[in-house]
Structure 1
Amino acid sequence: MLEDNATSRDYRVRLFYKSKPSVPKGAVLDNMQKRTEGFAPRDGKRDSDRLDFRHPKYVTNIGGKSVGATWSIREEEIEYPGDLTPFLPALEQSWLWDDADGVVGECEHQLVVLDQTAANMRPMDRLQMIQFLVASVVEATDCDAIYWEATEQFLEPKAFVEGLNAVAAKPWKAPGAFNVRVSRVIGYGERRDDDSRDMIVDSLGLGVLGWPDFQCHFRGLDWREIQQIVYEKALDVFENGPKLQDGQAFPGINASQVWKCRFEEAILGPPRKVIDIDPGIPYCAGLRYAVTAGVYVK
């Protein structure tokens, strides 16, 4: 039985469609059986309208009671079809699909794939099961776009399924599993000069599974190099679990740099614990720079 873990939240993936989708339950089940034998409908019926599922292998402990993890497919309408405003942040961080906006803007319907009472599953099992179900639904329907809500990025459906099939034994390497965002911070309070232009690079995808994500708030460094460092640190957590300790140091971009890490609340949403990477003076930014260098930042 898996232990109780209250740090993770619901895992949701939204499938977007230009035409109203119909979910062939039997086809989804057939696709899932190829990926994980034992996946079954909660009502025991292959042809009913109830799209709730279970797997006997996964049982969680919630409030001291044994509860089977479940997965659901829900039909929802997109509130404002054609309006990309709610999705602009995700579209800007969708590194794997440059032309996603053109397709997303044409979608009017969506299916939501989510897990329930699964937050206490082992992270790798939980990630892989949601990936398997998303792929199985995509294969059974004419999906036009995938919005991986937990990592705030859009994926091209065919590329996702092909990517997952290529790394089925290593789900963290599949498209959508995690994302490394790059954001620019312009100004603090009333300041809007060049000296207040900082950047934040952070990861998404670890926190929803109960592990800490990473972030680095910096200036004067190549964001591509920081993105690669955050990517490698996040990948290491997926493969080996979180091992960095509060205050631990490690080499920066070159061997002469010593960067430290500490546990903090994330600067950018969603709210979550992160391992913050401090590149030190003169590269650290924001309030850390103010505290470390004795500089008042308004």
Structure 2
Amino acid sequence: FKEPVEMPDKEKMTAIMEKYIGSTECFCYDKKMAGFAAQEHIAEFKDGKCPVQLMVMKCDKFKGKGFDAFLMSQMWDCQEDRERIFRECRYQVVATDMLTAALPALERANLDADFLEALAELYPTCEAFYFQNCGKLFLAEDVRSHQIEGPDRFIRFGVNVRFFNIEGTEDMLIDTVGMSTLFLPDLQYHFHGMDPNWVVNHAYNATSYILEHDNPIEDGETIDGVADGQMCREIQWKCQYEDALIQPPRGVLDINMGNYASGGR
């Protein structure tokens, strides 16, 4: 935000939450935060169950601390605007989900996307959205105007496909960040000699498939590769579970791109 914003009133917040999320109960509301129980999304634990919670904090100063050159370099959706956003936006509203780790991945992905759309309507003066779990930055207009449906909204906003050149070599590395939020594997490709845009598209298609089918890929299995920029059944790339080569530390599904693969496996 460029200017500070008031917390919307309780009735308005509850109405907009219900519009996007379904039956909602506001269980706390004061100057510091508002909390909503999503009654249609139940987290089940060993000793009981309860609705998951969606929290919205009061507007606070935003100093841009913690956004180093590494994080900024992977904000691909906002390359032309990212520095202006960090320069001009001096205020932030933090929103988070709680207890959602107990939900199935697909349900949480859809709920988080619904929550995002509710926030976009609740805060019309918002300039940009930053997604801490994956490091993506979007202009608010891109969030409000998207035409994506279902769980692919989470892939669009909550999963970042990153790109790195390996210094002193022809090698490239593409990986994803954000799938681990849903307890699903992120992906990693270490390769040379292929258009990286083809690999980025493959990563988005593969993460979408993994989310929709609750990760059916076993260690050592293969998935369709790429030929001329398109997914191709004739080409099979082997997958194996490994530790990520680049921070943050997490398990990844490493995709061996056959003739294009780099590094020892």
Letter of the aligned partner of 1:172 in structure 2? D
Match of 1:42 in 2: 27
Q: Once the two structures are superposed, what CA deviation does each residue of 1:232-290 show, in whole Å capped at 9, x if it has no partner?
A: 11121122221222111345334675421101122223232221101235x322343xx
Indicate the structure with greater strand content: 2
Matching of residues 99-118 of structure 1 within 5 Å: 99-101=80-82, 102-118=84-100
Query: Is 1:134 the counterpart of 2:105 in the alignment?
Result: no
Which structure would you say has the larger Rg? 1
In 2, distance between residues paired with 1:30 and 1:154? 27
Q: SS of 1:269's equivalent?
A: coil
Contiguous gaps of at least 5 residues in structure 1: 1-16, 187-192, 289-298
Identity of aligned residues (%): 22
2:22 and 2:195 mapped to 1: Cα distance? 46
Q: Specify the alignment match of 1:32 in structure 2.
A: 17
Inter-partner Cα distance in structure 2 for 1:173 and 1:98: 20
CA distance in 1, matches of 2:245, 2:41: 34
Task: Determine whether 1:54 maps to 2:37.
Answer: yes
The CA distance in 1 between the partners of 2:117 and 2:6, in whole Å, is: 16
Q: Which is further off, 90-99 or 270-279?
A: 90-99
Shift of 1:212: 1.0
Q: Which residue of 1 aligns with 2:160?
A: 179
* Contact preservation (8 Å) 2:174, 2:189: yes
Structure 1 distance, partners of 2:55, 2:74, is 27
- Amino acid in the other structure paired with 2:113: Q
RMSD: 2.6
Q: Corresponding residue for 1:242?
A: 215
Secondary structure at 2:67's aligned position in 1?
A: helix
Residue 260 of structure 1 is matched in structure 2 by: 238
Tell whether the 8 Å contact from 1:94 to 1:153 is kept in structure 2 after alignment: yes
Per-residue deviation, 1:89: 3.6
Inter-partner Cα distance in structure 1 for 2:175 and 2:205? 12
Aligned mates of 2:243, 2:143 — CA distance in 1: 31
Q: Which has the higher contact order (CA 8 A, sep 6+)?
A: 1
Letter in 1 for 2:250: R
Counterpart code for 2:16:
N
Residue number in structure 2 paired with 1:80: 63
Question: Are 1:223 and 2:196 an aligned pair?
Answer: yes
Task: Provide the aligned length of Structure 1 versus Structure 2.
Answer: 256
Shift, 1:224, TM fit: 1.6
